[in-house]
Amino acid sequence: MDDVQIRDLMDRVVAEKQDLRSHHQHRPLDKTGMLRLKELEQSLDQCWDLVRRRRARREFGLDPDGVAVRDTETVGHYRQ
């Protein structure tokens, strides 16, 4: 995945999160909605991790395509 594809994915994830929240503005999310929101947040975390690692590789003269998406378990334990 290149930088443009990552940004496009991030835009779609953010849009879906906003859509999900706006549809449930006056009532709590049901179990399915909560699960989907968690999936979207994990996907966004993975994208940010990928962007940062690609940027770091570029900074040190390495090929940014040499990194892959990390699993949600690894990315999910990062501190913000």
Q: What is the pLDDT of residues 21-79, one digit of tens each?
A: 888 777 888 999 999 999 999 999 999 999 999 999 999 999 999 999 999 988 877 66
pLDDT at 14: 96
pLDDT at 42: 93
Whether 40 contacts 13, CB under 8 Å: yes
pLDDT at 1: 86
13 pLDDT more than 60: yes
Residues in Cβ contact with 47 at an 8 Å cutoff, skipping those fewer than 6 apart: 6, 9, 10, 13
Domain ranges, ordered by start, for the chain: 3-75
